[in-house]
Structure 1
Amino acid sequence: MKHETFFDIMKCWMKKRTFFPDDMNGGIVMIRQAKAEDAEQVAPLIYIILEDMELPFLKGVSKEMMLEMIEASFLRSDYRFSKENVMVKEIDGKVAGILVSYHGEHAENMDDEWEGIQDMFGIVNKIPLFTEQETWMGEYYLDSLVVDSSYRGQGIGKELLHAFKELAVAKNCEIIALNVEKANEGALNLYKKLGYESEYDLVLSGHDYYHMTQNVRS
């Protein structure tokens, strides 16, 4: 019996995606797997998320260095922000938004590569980027979702959320999960409308979150 690899799943999933002209400028609009050449556009979007979380690590490095470190991590395999875990919304050659997702059982070792990335940049006193557990075994987890400020208000966030759910189904996952900050009422209401339910509370980097899940087979 043949076992499907991640790339087999992605190839099958991508065949179902729609590539269509953008009515505004005749360009191409699509959601696709991230590629190495996306690193420069993806890094600033990931930085937005890290800055919003007020991670302690960011206090010790410049924004320029952090962007370079994100790009380096994007090009590594088996890391949280590896290109293999990133889907991008592309509009006429520009990355308009991204989602980062992976299986919960991979989370325990997801950040092991971060120490090596710090070595690359000569950081002696190493600090972990993340310290709290965000997801658990049995979940397919939406780590991050962000839309470039130039493209907000166009429904791209909802499209990426739908793509995340489709991807989980393609991977034969039953439970999808995400964390939303309690103070972000707009996002919380959106997730509830899309069928997510709050399971329990979390504290991540000093911020209060709801851990929300949805059964995609029910």
Structure 2
Amino acid sequence: MNTNIIIRKAIESDSEKLWILMEQLAVFENYIDSFEITPEIVKEAGFRKSPPDFYCWVAEDEDQIAGMLVYYFLPYTAQNRPAIYMKELYVEEKYRGHKIGEQLMNALKTEAVKNNCSQIKWTVAPWNKSGQNFYERLGAKENKDWLNYEWTV
């Protein structure tokens, strides 16, 4: 495996490869039965729509996408500064253990600073202990002040 990973913003031609990683994440997180994203949706929502529904960083290994970080901006917060919501962070299994997730998170942190964001927010499944340990190693703290709710419509 090449360890010359390049972290860059995703481009439209990455759509198919991003979709594959999104599908792998849906399997990993046990929501594949409700996964309705297609490569065309990725292309339209992330690259053709203005503004896009999401932004994305990728970790590229030659012509392979080894990992992705999908996020969007929360423009209005109580701090009168935007925040970033990280929706998905996924590194393909064979690339894990090479600090690719950390590189993607650092790219997101740089993006947050560049856009005057006050915070980066995300959720992690309670059963995903390796994910929790990873985020804590980076210095992130669990927010115990708020509970997550969902209302399916």
TM-score tier (shorter): 0.7 to 0.9
In the alignment, what sits opposite 2:53?
Answer: 80
**Equivalent residue in structure 2 for 1:89, among 53, 59, 70:** 59
**Equivalent residue in structure 2 for 1:102, among 51, 59, 72:** 72
Cα separation, 1, equivalents of 2:139 and 2:4: 30
Cα separation, 2, equivalents of 1:163 and 1:205: 32
Cα separation, 2, equivalents of 1:44 and 1:101: 17
CA-to-aligned-CA distance 1:73-110 (integer Å, 9 cap, x gap): 344324434xxx0111111122111111221238xxxx
Cα separation, 2, equivalents of 1:70 and 1:35: 11
Residue identity matched to 1:158: E
> Rg larger in 1 or in 2?
1
Moved over 4 A (4+): 203-206
Residue identity matched to 1:163: A
In the alignment, what sits opposite 2:21?
Answer: 45
Retained in 2: the 8 A contact 1:30–1:89? yes
Residue 140 of structure 1 and its aligned partner are, at CA, apart by: 1.3
Retained in 2: the 8 A contact 1:90–1:97? yes
Taking structure 1 as the reference length, what is the TM-score of the superposition? 0.56
Higher strand share: 1
Q: Does 1:66 align with 2:42?
A: no
Taking structure 2 as the reference length, what is the TM-score of the superposition? 0.76
Cα separation, 2, equivalents of 1:48 and 1:189: 21
**Aligned residues: percent identity?**
28
Change (3 A) 1:160 1:57: same
Residue identity matched to 1:44: I
Residue 33 of structure 1 and its aligned partner are, at CA, apart by: 1.1
CA-to-aligned-CA distance 1:52-74 (integer Å, 9 cap, x gap): 2516643xx6xxx8344444434
* Unpaired stretches in structure 1, ≥5 consecutive residues: 1-23, 107-136, 207-218
Change (3 A) 1:44 1:71: farther
How many corresponding residue pairs? Answer: 144
Residue 203 of structure 1 and its aligned partner are, at CA, apart by: 4.8
* Unpaired stretches in structure 2, ≥5 consecutive residues: none
